Every structure is written in structure tokens, then in C-alpha cells.
């Protein structure tokens, strides 16, 4: 069965510094997708970045980058130059197994609450 | 990015009443939408997959007759919580499937409180 693990319930970082949020996954499907979402206190889920299992390079989107280590089954999110507005919950998610018909379903980790301090 | 709206954002109702929540993709067509439930300080739990023009697919443990889903058009899916009870109080979030990475774009959520 597929599983996403986020072991850091809470993290804090100083403004303008970089922070890494951990995510490990487990799947037997050779083809999968990994996503990171941000959920501010308002509740909406904001798509940040995507990494495909066959992508040769680590994904980057502005200040967000994904440190994808396939052999270790990890997909850590790196936020550079943290801003106060980055304070939120962050969820790692994996696209469901294709063979089950749930290819587009997302399996979410427990989340990490990030607090950015001035 | 793509925009998904949800209405209402908050609803308070009496026990036994039914509540309808709308999810709309505003600037793209979505053949597939998803409904999630999120309890305080917990992760999102998928309730069902809504497919335009066909019956929704419910996750194990989710009551089909309790949570009615209708995906009548390529831009609208509705979730109706029938005969709501206090234990149905939760944050309900919908999402619509995008085209580029098959990513999901989420609505702002609906906070349901059943008295």
C-alpha cells in the first residue's frame, strides 16, 4: 500500500533563511507523482510543486524546490529565503496507484506546521 | 493557476437538516473532482471522486446515502450532507483535476457546523 510520512509536526525558521520540510514515501508502483501543498490558516490548499518519478531533474518553482532522492524514497521541500507569509501547514502528497484505478487520487501525509519568525 | 470556488464558505445548521455545498471550477473544465474532509489539526481524508456524467466513487467507510454527490456539468460538483448530525461537523474541501500534471486545484473549503 502507498504511504506518505511527514515526521516533523512543527518547524520554525528565521525570516530570510532556508528551511527543509521532510517527506518520505512508500510505493510499489514504478510510476508515481509527488506533490507539495500549502494550507494557510484560511484553509485553502495551495499547490506548490510537483515531481514525477521519472523526472531527471529536481523540480523548482520560484523559492520552492524539491529535493527528490528516489533511492531513499524521499521528496523533501526546500523553501529558500523564508517569508512571514510562508507560515502555514505544508502537506506532502502522492498520486495513488495506477493499477487500482485511483491514479488521480492523492494520499496526504500528516502535515508539518511551519512558523516563520521575524 | 486554475481557480476553484466553493459555496458556502461557512454554514451552521440544525441537526436533521440537509446541507448542499457547491464546488465550481471557474476557468477550466474538470471532468473529475474530489471531495475531502478535514478534522481539526489533521490531514485531508478523501471521501469520494466525482466524475462528470457518472456516479461518484466513494472511499471505503463513506456512506453514499449520507453524502450525496452530483457532478452535473464540467464545472460544477455538489456535495449534499443529508440529515446532518453534530458528528458531521467538519471542514469540507473540494478539488478539481488539472491538465498539466494531473494536479488537483483546491477550493477554499466549507466549514460545516451542525448544532
- Of the partner residues B42, B49, B106, the one whose CB lies closest to the CB of residue A45: B106
Residue B2 has a pLDDT of 82
Q: Output Rg (C-alpha) for chain B, integer angstroms.
A: 13
Parallel/antiparallel/unpaired status of strands A46-52 and B10-13: unpaired
Residue B8 cell numbers, joined: 458556502
- Average pLDDT, stretch A56-77? 96
Task: Name the minimum distance, in Å, from the CA of B25 to any CA of chain A.
Answer: 14
Residues of B in contact with A43 (CB under 8 A): 91, 93, 108-109, 111
Say if residue A100's pLDDT is above 70. Answer: no
Residue A101 has a pLDDT of 62
Read off the pLDDT of residues A13-46 as tens digits, 9 standing for 90 and up.
999 999 999 999 999 888 889 999 999 999 999 9
**Integer angstrom CA distances of residue B22 from A110, B4, B43, B94:** 26, 10, 22, 9
Residue B108 cell numbers, joined: 477554499
Report CA torsion sign: A36, A42, A44, A47: negative
Residue A33 cell numbers, joined: 507523482
User: Which runs of consecutive H residues, i.e. helices, occur in A1-118?
Assistant: none
Q: Flag if A33 and B107 touch (Cβ within 8 Å).
A: no
Residues of B with CB under 8 A from a CB of A: 1, 32, 34, 42-44, 46, 49, 91, 93, 95, 97, 101-109, 111
Q: Does A111 touch chain B (CB under 8 A)?
A: yes
Task: For residues A88 and A112, give the distance between their C-alpha atoms in angstroms, rounded to a whole number.
Answer: 8
Nearest CA in chain A to B106: A45
- Of the partner residues B46, B104, B106, the one whose CB lies closest to the CB of residue A44: B106
Residue B98 has a pLDDT of 80
Amino acid at each position: 500500500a502507498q504511504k506518505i510520512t511527514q515526521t516533523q509536526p512543527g518547524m520554525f525558521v528565521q525570516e530570510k533563511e532556508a528551511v527543509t520540510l521532510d517527506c518520505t514515501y512508500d510505493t510499489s508502483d514504478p510510476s508515481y507523482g509527488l506533490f507539495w501543498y500549502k494550507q494557510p490558516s484560511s484553509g485553502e490548499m495551495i499547490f506548490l510543486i510537483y515531481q514525477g518519478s521519472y523526472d531527471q531533474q529536481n523540480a523548482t518553482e520560484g523559492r520552492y524546490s524539491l529535493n527528490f532522492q528516489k533511492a531513499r524514497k524521499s521528496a523533501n521541500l526546500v523553501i529558500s529565503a523564508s517569508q512571514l507569509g510562508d507560515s502555514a501547514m505544508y502537506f506532502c502528497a502522492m498520486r495513488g496507484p495506477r493499477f487500482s484505478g485511483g491514479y488521480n487520487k492523492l494520499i496526504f501525509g500528516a502535515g508539518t506546521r511551519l512558523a516563520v519568525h521575524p | 493557476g486554475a481557480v476553484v470556488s466553493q459555496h458556502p464558505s461557512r454554514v451552521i445548521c440544525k441537526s436533521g437538516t440537509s446541507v448542499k455545498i457547491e464546488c465550481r471550477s471557474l476557468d477550466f473544465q474538470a471532468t473529475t473532482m474530489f471531495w475531502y474532509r478535514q478534522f481539526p489539526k489533521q490531514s485531508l481524508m478523501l471521501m469520494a471522486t466525482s466524475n462528470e456524467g457518472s456516479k461518484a466513487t466513494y472511499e471505503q467507510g463513506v456512506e453514499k446515502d449520507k453524502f450525496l454527490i452530483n457532478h452535473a456539468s464540467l464545472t460544477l460538483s455538489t456535495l449534499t450532507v443529508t440529515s446532518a448530525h453534530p458528528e458531521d461537523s467538519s471542514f469540507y474541501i473540494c478539488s478539481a483535476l488539472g491538465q498539466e500534471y494531473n494536479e488537483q486545484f483546491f477550493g477554499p473549503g466549507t466549514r460545516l457546523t451542525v448544532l
